[in-house]
Amino acid sequence: MPPRSNPTARQERLGAELRKLREGAGITARSAARAIGMDQAKMSHLEAGRVAVGGERVRALSAHYGVTDGALVEALATMADERVRGWWNAYRDVLPQSFLDLAELEHHATYVNSIEITQAPGLLQTEEYARALFTYMDPGRSQADLSARVEHRLRRQDVLDRTPRLAVEMVIHEAALRICVADRAVARAQLERFLEESERDNVAIRVIPFRAEGFGSPGYSMTYVGGSVPRLDTVQVDAVHAGVLLDDAAQLRTHRDLYAKVRDLALAPAESRDLISEVRQQM
């Protein structure tokens, strides 16, 4: 089978983690390839996510590298054995790859924490809100492209109903509650959606009020996605044209600390519902 021309972020992540383990053990790609009966060129493709690898080979490589973290090895082996062709693949030639990567991340997530300052989180947006947002970002977008983006965003929200339950915590600034991306009717409906979703046992919404002191991250949004083990966590941050995925250990630590700092400024879920209700009445 020829190498993949466009590996997904998850496929690239598996290859990158195997490369890190090999380099950490001080073992050459040639030696690693020989240990599992593979040529060096194919090993390079494997570590770039361009060819598939099975769980048994992942375990064999990990043993060759002297890896003692059993939980990490099994998590990587599971990644290797999974051949999930998720619903997001239907959009492969329609939407940017970053859209597909985020949906796949959420599908495999153990938990999701997010910060939104000026917009409603994608997992909670109403159809009208999402449509207004995408239209504003690019008024010349074709109806087919617009419909695909809205449909994809709404389908991502199915993850909230999955089994086992996905734990989701969203920190939203009061600005996002008050900004009208369309008209007041759309804004009110979006606030009602927040109130409805906040009643779920797996969804926590915390609002940072305007009165909060010491908030130094205006305009910064992020989604922190928990992996099956902490080393496999991923952060998505917004860029100009698409989301950027970060998974370096130092980057993960920085964003965990940032999330904790911002969360500490937010109201508790019950107080947050009260503030959302108050803003809803003012719309």
What digits encode the pLDDT tens for the residues 44-76?
999 999 998 999 999 999 999 999 999 999 999
Q: Which of 227, 5, 9, 238 is nearest to 115 (CA)?
A: 238
- The Cα-based distances of 112 to 178, 198, 211, 214 in angstroms read 24, 15, 26, 24
CA dist 129 → 7, 61, 84, 249 (Å) = 32, 48, 30, 35
76 and 104 fall within a common domain? no
CA distance 152 to 67: 39
pLDDT of residue 215: 87
Q: What is the pTM of this model?
A: 0.93
What is the rounded distance in angstroms from the CA atom of residue 194 to the CA atom of residue 170?
A: 10
What digits encode the pLDDT tens for the residues 111-157? 999 999 999 999 999 999 999 999 998 889 999 999 999 999 999 99
| Same domain, yes or no: 45 and 118 | no
Of 81, 102, 133, the residue at which a domain comes to its end is: 81
Mean pLDDT to the nearest integer, 192-217: 94
Domain membership flag for residue 24 = yes
Give the CATH number of the domain where residue 179 resides. 3.30.870
* 135: containing domain: 91-282
| Total domains in the fold of the chain | 2
End residue of a domain, out of 81, 108, 135: 81
- Verify that 247 and 166 share a domain, yes or no: yes
Query: Does one domain contain both 68 and 95?
Result: no
Q: What residue type is assigned to position 222 of the chain?
A: M
Mean pLDDT of the chain: 94
Determine the pLDDT at residue 85.
82
Residue 170 covered by a domain: yes
Cα gap 283→113, rounded to integer Å: 28
Domain boundary among 81, 108, 126: 81
Mean pLDDT of 212-230: 88
Look at residue 241 and tell me if it is in a domain.
yes
Higher pLDDT, 175 or 83: 175
Q: 48 and 180 share a domain? A: no
Query: Which pLDDT does position 239 carry in this prediction?
Result: 67
E-strand stretches of the chain: 111-116, 167-173, 203-208, 222-226, 234-238, 243-246
- Radius of gyration of the chain from its Cα atoms, rounded to whole angstroms: 21
Question: Any idea what the CATH number is for the domain that residue 73 is in?
Answer: 1.10.260.40
CA separation (Å) from 113 to 66, 73, 148, 163, 238? 33, 25, 25, 18, 15
| 243-265 pLDDT per residue, tens | 799 999 999 999 999 999 999 99
Q: How confident is the model at residue 36 (pLDDT cuts 50, 70, 90)?
A: very high
Q: What is the mean pLDDT of residues 3-21?
A: 92
